[in-house]
Amino acid sequence: DSGVTQTPKHLITATGQRVTLRCSPRSGDLSVYWYQQSLDQGLQFLIQYYNGEERAKGNILERFSAQQFPDLHSELNLSSLELGDSALYFCASSDLEGAAGVGTGELFFGEGSRLTVL
Amino acid sequence: AQSVTQPDIHITVSEGASLELRCNYSYGATPYLFWYVQSPGQGLQLLLKYFSGDTLVQGIKGFEAEFKRSQSSFNLRKPSVHWSDAAEYFCAVGVLDLSYVIFNYQLIWGAGTKLIIKP
């Protein structure tokens, strides 16, 4: 158990719809990362938050957005869904925090949310 | 720019045979290096990591990896594979970006190597 919790585990929806994926990082981790993994694709970095602020953006579509709340949980919002958005969405948190860089730099992954768009 | 290369998309080995998965990275500073494993339909689990000290690191499930700075490599090895090792393996390098007021930290990922085990 990595300590990172993602809900829901599975989600089936239709094209054009909107869904929200939720992530709770490990206790004490301030950074949350979101990744997309499509069939036979590697990990595509979407976005990172650090203590409530957006820190880095990857290949995230404009139809997607995210936020990190004061309690450090994060939500990834996917709207106007298309068939190609079907994928595993992973959340991870990091133990490398602060200007001192304390920690090992490991990312701890949740089990993912599998989104199927029909 | 930082990058990670896993040159083998697929590797097939017989059960009981030895295994080596290759990983090369490009990064100007001393790297944090990681190997993760992903079983089908599962999340990513850390196998092992290197960030300082002994360049030969031991991980879970009998895996080890050796950091070779001169070759910018961090290859994963196992002396005898089991059918349960069939999975996808990802190499990653941890990159610090000090251009932020507070540093930013990212993992740069390789494309993954799918390991197939022959009975």
pLDDT at A14: 97
Instruction: Give mean pLDDT, residues A25-32.
Output: 91
Q: Does A101 touch chain B (CB under 8 A)?
A: yes
Whether the per-residue pLDDT at B100 is higher than 80: the answer is: no
Q: Which two tokens stand for residue A9?
A: 């585990």
Please name the residues between 3 and 32 in chain A that touch chain B, using a CB distance below 8 Å: 31
What is the rounded distance in angstroms from the CA atom of residue B111 to the CA atom of residue A77?
A: 26
Q: Which residues contact B114 (CB under 8 A, 6 or more apart)?
A: B9, B10, B11, B87, B88, B89
Whole-number pLDDT of residue B9 = 93
**Which tokens belong to A72?**
């450090």
β partners of residue B78: B19
Q: What is the pLDDT of residue A100?
A: 47
For range A65-84, the mean pLDDT: 96
The pLDDT of residue A99 is 43
Q: Is B29 part of the contact surface with chain A (CB cutoff 8 Å)?
A: no
Distances in whole angstroms, Cα of residue B114 to Cα of each of A42, B10, B24, B100: 11, 5, 16, 36
Radius of gyration of chain B (CA): 15
Residue whose structure tokens are 């930082």: B2
Find chain A residues with C-beta within 8 A of B105's C-beta: 31, 94, 96, 101, 105
Is B25:B4 a contact under the CB 8 Å cutoff? yes
Q: Nearest CA to CA, how far is B10 from chain A (Å)?
A: 12
> Is residue A83 within 8 Å of A15, Cβ to Cβ?
yes
Mutate to test the interface with A, among B105, B109, B113 (most CBs of A within 10 A): B105
**A80: helix, strand or coil:** coil
Q: What percent of chain A has pLDDT over 90?
A: 72
